[in-house]
Amino acid sequence: MTSSSDHGILWFNKSSVKIGEIERYVITFQLYDDENGLPADLSLNSLWLRIRNIENVTFRAAYLMGPYLLYCDVRTADYHHSQHLFVSADQPKFEPTLQPQQDFYAELSLHNLKKTYVWIVDVASQIIFTNTSQIGFEISIGSSKKSLENAELSSHPLASSSFSKLSVTRLDTLDQWNLNDHISPHANQKEHLVVLTHGLHSNVPADLFYLKEQIEKCQKYYNDEQIVVKGFTGNVCKTERGVKYLGTRLAEYVVQELYNDRVTKISFVGHSLGGLVQAFAVAYIAANYPWFFEKVDPINFITLASPLLGIVTDNPAYINILLSFGIVGKTGQDLGLKEQSEAEKPLLYFLPGEPTKTILKKFKRRTLYANAVNDGIVPLYSASLLFLDYQEVLQQLQESPDFNQKLVTTTPAEFIMKNFISPISKAISLLAPQKFPESGSSGKIPKVSVIESAASILIPPVPEKSYIMDPATRANVIIHDKLYTEADIPARNSQSEKQLLGSDNMLLRTFVANSEKSCQNLEEDIARRWHEGLTWRKVIVCLKPDAHNNIIVRRRFSNAYGWPIVDHLTQNHFNGIDTEPCIPDSEVGAPDSNDLEYDNSWVNFTDKRSLFDVGPTGMISTVTEMLDSLSKNSPMLNRNSSSSRRRGSSFDQDQLFKYELEKKDLTGDPL
């Protein structure tokens, strides 16, 4: 048998990723060494990379069991988005939606005469709804693109290289999230724990990986402590079960798993639903582990596009009905401001009360990031706690190059319809983590299925080439950055409040025009509770679609429009300056002990649990987990394990796909 090098295949590996998993391959090519100097037969011909999604082509339609899509990118090791790339060969290459049986090719250029070349390749799972499915893929390096196209790679040995100049290091998800713990020179020093929390139908390891890496790069500002960035993975595929359920699990993870004697500081960063979850986690820790915030100094409390006031008045009536009925489980009821079973107020009303408020006052910085436009999931008023200088925000928005023409050439009603009211997008966003506006959309609800919607949702708008290569082409997207104290909030029944609630500002018109005044009043009450005795820094941004996921750079290049936001977050919150509080110490006071005991009761109040708390999409994960557990404990089902390739579950995934298409139950009987 001839060696793979005879066919131009220099390296080959086969692997797979589940939900939230991301693999990294560090490719090192030694062009020449100093001892021998330049060889006579030195070649500067490019190498080629191929990544292939090896799942069956029929899985392209298996959205609810997947989707079986991969995100992959390749860049040079010294690449940084702040650099101006003059040579197109240095431009990063990426594919946001690599479908089953599709290939991604990238040229690894050797256009400079230098001793060593290093490239970094990332491959991430795009699975959303289930934690049992896997996506298999092959990654190979060849001396030419033709050699990769013609080779039968499945016959090559795994993780092998036949070229001495080439070496490849593979890092799985755990490696990348724990590597700094082992190699940091600050391992024996005090720790600043940074907890990242994901949103609905999302995950920490892959979706917040870019944010994690950028925060870790701020270690250079800290000589006396180690930044440790972590996130709780136990809530993946469980995000429909309610804020209290998710926050309780996060809090226990922080106290029981992450805390140690070296942890002296803590910061929380939450995206979307994660902002509410981390707020409840703070309350839960304060109520059940009161010693924690006496030993650990709270530094940053940051939310990004979080529905802190719910999503009621920005929704059509039928969406609110679906929320109350549990279309996205208990979480949907929380966001719809449905009252708790034995309380007159919803959970989001109690959340900014005690003990949350007392602990929030201890944080050195409290910052809200909110999208002004292009976020079809969380409205501006909810992410910014309602009270905001909307006129200044609108003025800055009108001066933005990307939105100026749209604001001038369309009527206010059309602008609101395209940018702030998208009823079908709200329905879809409750079932998936992304939303991408469609051009020419009207107020009528299109007749589409959930599967069809999911297919379009997972095709992200790709940033322009100039945006990635030239920082000078990137407009300033931070249009408002201001501290708001309690004194800035208009008094009840004042003229300022009437002007706010009666405003014709198009950024607030959906809130003002809502007919459900009771919900509007409730949202205002919640907003006021968040501001009592607290100073908030509100950063309003103007991002291109998909703004809700761009704001955290969910994927490094397909969500690159969010780079400036992550830069702003890291530069202003992890810059080595943690000594100046954003509020005077005199404002920090403990509530009366009797009030504290009364207010704490809502934290540990146990809701009645139901299987249907998870909602329709949550049932997908629940059922597949049950099947996975049954297959591992059933001798009959275990006989099929040998035919299940590369999968953690021994249940045949093809059968699950067949069930999805034919609407049969798991016994094969028609429903």
State the Cα–Cα distance between residues 662 and 28, nearest whole angstrom.
48
Contact of 617 with 431, CB cutoff 8 Å: yes
Contact of 51 with 15, CB cutoff 8 Å: no
How would DSSP label each residue in 444-481? SPP---HHHHHHHHTSPPPPPHHHHH-GGGPPP-EEEE
* Phi and psi torsions of 366, nearest 5°: -130, 115
* Phi and psi torsions of 226, nearest 5°: -110, 130
Residues 6+ apart with CB under 8 A from 304: 269, 270, 271, 272, 275, 369, 551, 552, 565, 569
- Name the one residue in this structure whose structure tokens are 């379009």: 456
Q: Which long-range contacts (CB under 8 A, 24 or more apart) does 551-555 make?
A: 551/271, 551/304, 551/305, 551/369, 551/371, 551/375, 552/207, 552/208, 552/210, 552/211, 552/271, 552/304, 553/210, 553/211, 554/207, 554/210, 554/434, 555/71, 555/73, 555/94, 555/96, 555/124, 555/210, 555/460
State the Cα–Cα distance between residues 456 and 600, nearest whole angstrom.
44
Contact of 64 with 451, CB cutoff 8 Å: yes
Contact of 108 with 141, CB cutoff 8 Å: yes
State the Cα–Cα distance between residues 663 and 671, nearest whole angstrom.
7
Residues 6+ apart with CB under 8 A from 430: 200, 319, 322, 323, 327, 328, 332
* Phi and psi torsions of 138, nearest 5°: -115, 140
State the Cα–Cα distance between residues 504 and 524, nearest whole angstrom.
17
Quick count: other Cβ atoms within 10 Å of Cβ 185? 9
Exposed, middle or buried by CB within 10 Å (0-12, 13-18, 19+), for 262?
Answer: middle
* Phi and psi torsions of 32, nearest 5°: -160, 170
State the Cα–Cα distance between residues 290 and 334, nearest whole angstrom.
26
Q: Which of 453, 455, 425, 450 is nearest to 437 (CA)?
A: 425
In the chain, count H helices and then E strands.
26, 17
State the Cα–Cα distance between residues 389 and 535, nearest whole angstrom.
15
State the Cα–Cα distance between residues 23 and 17, nearest whole angstrom.
8
Sign of the C-alpha dihedral, residues 648, 651, 655, 660? Answer: negative
For residue 419, the SS3 value is helix
Token pair recorded at residue 270: 């939450």
Q: Is 593 a catalytic residue?
A: no
Q: Which of 61, 100, 125, 126 is nearest to 450 (CA)?
A: 61
Residues 6+ apart with CB under 8 A from 174: none
* Phi and psi torsions of 283, nearest 5°: -65, -40
Catalytic residue among 161, 272, 382, 425: 272
State the Cα–Cα distance between residues 92 and 85, nearest whole angstrom.
10
State the Cα–Cα distance between residues 428 and 472, nearest whole angstrom.
35
Give the catalytic positions in this structure. Answer: 272
